[in-house]
Amino acid sequence: MADLSTTYMGLSLANPVIVSSCGLTGTAKGIRQCVEAGAGAVVVKSLFEEQIDADVDTQREHTELSSHPEAEEYIQQMGKHLGPSDYLTLIETAKRENQVPIIASVNCVSSEWWAEWARQLQIAGADALELNVAIMPRDPDLSSESIEKRYVGIVDAVRRNVSIPIAVKIGPYVTSLPSLARALARAGAQALVLFNRFYQLDIDIDKLVPAPGYQFSTATEIYQPLRWISVLSCQVDCELAGSTGVHSGREAVKLLLAGAQVVQLCSTLYCNGLDRLHEILDELTGWMDGHGFGAIHEFRGRLAKLTGQHPEAFERLQYIKALTGVD
């Protein structure tokens, strides 16, 4: 039977299917269940900067100094330094209870806290960090260059503070992804996670108000990470993790063929339960057996060479084919 074992950022994984950062990985029990369902690694639910502030608020409630502005500032600093202890405890517990790599995830807004939090998560025992850098470019005064500088600055600061591997999870809304990807790899990112799926905006046409869109992806959303992983895997000096739209073994196979080192699952587990993970592993094994592949490295990136070397020519050809096919 096919051997699914692989590595991700230098960590050994029994298989390349990871549970991505989400509510399913926000508790010790949830993480244990993901591991029991067969996850090769788990990315813990992100620690958000807003939670860090909330922790500070809790400490403020328990002190009589709260009315004094200097004390207030001190408590702010102290709170951010000590951190939301629950999250650090979660990482420690997850490490103690499970044999698979535990990847901590952090999402900060203000740049100074990225490095400090990364350091604390390393101390808590995380095997690696996923930096959930969710910059939505809404502001017309913010140039592409300045946004890219922010991405690189965060990785640079974290890299100087920790020795564990760093993955950067980004959204699809960037200008020149190959250029940014290369800069992030140079700054010290061992992996890029493509892509985060942001809050979907919808409009309620009866009430005439904005409304939240459907929270979960569908399998057709695989095309976006698939394109970019095939384009980038020949061009950047870091590993790539495919995220968004992996709902079956088929999507996992496609991303691996395009050059992904691992794939991440979220929506399908919410929609179909954790047993889906095992089914996806079975589908992956079945496909490998059917094609005579004994190990992941025998086929990983096989199609990246077709699509990645001359992406413009390849894409234009596909585009023309698609258009003429419709007529």
Ligand X SMILES: Cc1cc2nc3c(=O)[nH]c(=O)nc-3n(C[C@H](O)[C@H](O)[C@H](O)COP(=O)(O)O)c2cc1C
Cβ neighbours, 10 Å, residue 224: 16
Q: Which is nearer to ligand X, 233 or 267 (CB)?
A: 267
Contact (Cβ atoms closer than 8 angstroms) between residue 107 and residue 46:
yes
Q: Quick one: which of 37, 56, 255, 266 contacts ligand X (CB under 6 A)?
A: 266
Residue 45 interacts with ligand X (CB under 6 A): yes or no: yes
Q: Which is nearer to ligand X, 148 or 221 (CB)?
A: 221
Smallest separation (angstroms) from ligand X to the CB of 244: 4
Contact (Cβ atoms closer than 8 angstroms) between residue 132 and residue 105:
yes
Q: Which residues from 130-149 bind ligand X, rule CB under 6 A? A: 132
Q: Quick one: which of 6, 15, 20, 33 contacts ligand X (CB under 6 A)?
A: 20
Of 40, 85, 74, the closest CA to residue 252 belongs to 40
Smallest separation (angstroms) from ligand X to the CB of 293: 24
Q: Which is nearer to ligand X, 89 or 215 (CB)?
A: 215
Query: Which region, judged by CB under 6 A, interacts with ligand X, from 18-26, 73-81, 95-103, 200-208?
Result: 18-26
Instruction: Report how many residues bind ligand X under the rule CB under 6 A.
Output: 21
Fill in the amino acid letter for 170.
Answer: I
Beta-carbon contacts of 282 under 8 Å, excluding residues fewer than 6 positions away, are 249
Q: Which residues from 268-327 bind ligand X, rule CB under 6 A? A: none
Q: Which residues from 201-260 bind ligand X, rule CB under 6 A? A: 215-217, 243-246
CA-to-CA dists, residue 67 to 15, 33, 80, 99, 301, angstroms = 53, 44, 19, 47, 59
Smallest separation (angstroms) from ligand X to the CB of 112: 21
Q: Quick one: which of 196, 230, 233, 307 contacts ligand X (CB under 6 A)?
A: 196
Instruction: Supply the angle between the helices 69-82 and 49-61 in degrees, to the nearest 10.
Output: 130
Q: Which is nearer to ligand X, 71 or 135 (CB)?
A: 135
Cβ neighbours, 10 Å, residue 112: 9
Would you give the end-to-end CA distance of the chain in angstroms?
45
Q: CA-CA distance, 317 to 326, in Å (whole number)?
A: 14
Smallest separation (angstroms) from ligand X to the CB of 319: 25
Pairing of strands 11-13, 6-8: antiparallel
Q: CA-CA distance, 142 to 300, in Å (whole number)?
A: 38
Q: Which residues from 51-80 bind ligand X, rule CB under 6 A? A: none
Smallest separation (angstroms) from ligand X to the CB of 48: 7
Q: Quick one: which of 28, 39, 94, 265 contacts ligand X (CB under 6 A)?
A: 265
Determine the Cα angle at 151 with ends 240 and 145, to 5°.
Answer: 115
Q: Which is nearer to ligand X, 222 or 238 (CB)?
A: 222
Region of 233 please: left (phi>0), alpha (psi -120 to 50) or beta: alpha
Question: In terms of residues, how long is the chain?
Answer: 327
Smallest separation (angstroms) from ligand X to the CB of 166: 14
The helix or strand, by DSSP H or E, that contains position 145, with its residue range, turns out to be helix 144-161
Q: Which is nearer to ligand X, 93 or 243 (CB)?
A: 243
Smallest separation (angstroms) from ligand X to the CB of 169: 5
Q: Quick one: which of 22, 121, 189, 256 contacts ligand X (CB under 6 A)?
A: 22
Q: Which residues lie near ligand X (CB under 6 A)? A: 20-23, 45-46, 105, 132, 169, 196-197, 215-217, 243-246, 265-267
